[in-house]
Structure 1
Amino acid sequence: MYTLISFDIKYKTNQVKIENILRHFGLKKIQNNTYIGKLNNLEINYIKNNISSTINNNDTLIIFPICDRCYSKKESFGGEIKFREDLYRVF
């Protein structure tokens, strides 16, 4: 299932930690603090557990699960989003 994760993190060091976790699972950056990619439930739970120890009360992180059918209906306007193809999942 596709997963969209958006966050607002106060401290840069925490933001970097969260971005590293998201990239580790192959999520791709689509905006400054928004990532998307395909994750299974185990991977989502792993991310939740690791991120919950990183963020504090001033931070916000939202996880949106998106089914394949809904994702196929997405529309974008303006410039094309270009993903870095050199990102790989490492297990």
Structure 2
Amino acid sequence: MDTIIIYDISENSLRTRVAKVLLDYGCIRIQKSAFWGVLNHNTQDKLRLRLERMMQGKEGNIQFYPMCRKCFSLKESIGEIYEVKEEDVSVF
């Protein structure tokens, strides 16, 4: 299922680790704190558990938005769409 994953994490090292886990699961960065991936139910559960362990006792949140293929295909954008590459992301 198409899934959008967004996060709001202020700690730089944790934010970087979360992004790397999402990339390891085949997700694609679509904005600096947003990823898209095609995740079956089992994979999504494993990813969620891994991220929950990482977030335990830390400030921030991670949200999953599963979408059916038809709903995802109806997405609209304003402005230029580009794939965010890891070298485009600065960690301060």
Which is helix-richer, 1 or 2?
Answer: 2
Residue 36 of structure 1 corresponds to which residue in structure 2?
36
Residue 72 of structure 1 corresponds to which residue in structure 2?
73
2:2 and 2:66 in contact (8 A); partners too: yes
TM-score under structure 2 length normalisation:
0.83
Residue 13 of structure 2 corresponds to which residue in structure 1?
13
Extract unaligned runs of 5+ from structure 1.
85-91
Task: Give 1:69's aligned amino acid.
Answer: K
The equivalences for 1:43-62 within 5 A come to 43-55=43-55, 56-62=57-63
Task: Give 2:81's aligned amino acid.
Answer: E
Looking at structure 2, the residues matched to 17 and 62 of structure 1 have their Cα atoms a distance apart, in angstroms, of 16
How many residues of Structure 1 are paired with residues of Structure 2 in the alignment?
84
1:58 Cα offset (Å): 1.8
Partner-residue secondary structure (3-state), 2:54: coil
1:57 Cα offset (Å): 4.7
Partner-residue secondary structure (3-state), 1:53: helix
Partner-residue secondary structure (3-state), 2:47: helix
Partner-residue secondary structure (3-state), 1:54: helix
The structure 1 segments of at least 4 consecutive aligned residues displaced by more than 6 Å after TM superposition are none
Superposed CA offset, 1:43-76 (max 9, x none): 1111111101111352111000010010111111
Identity between Structure 1 and Structure 2 (%) = 24
Residue 24 of structure 2 corresponds to which residue in structure 1?
24
Looking at structure 2, the residues matched to 76 and 48 of structure 1 have their Cα atoms a distance apart, in angstroms, of 27
CA RMSD across the alignment: 1.4
2:29 and 2:83 in contact (8 A); partners too: no
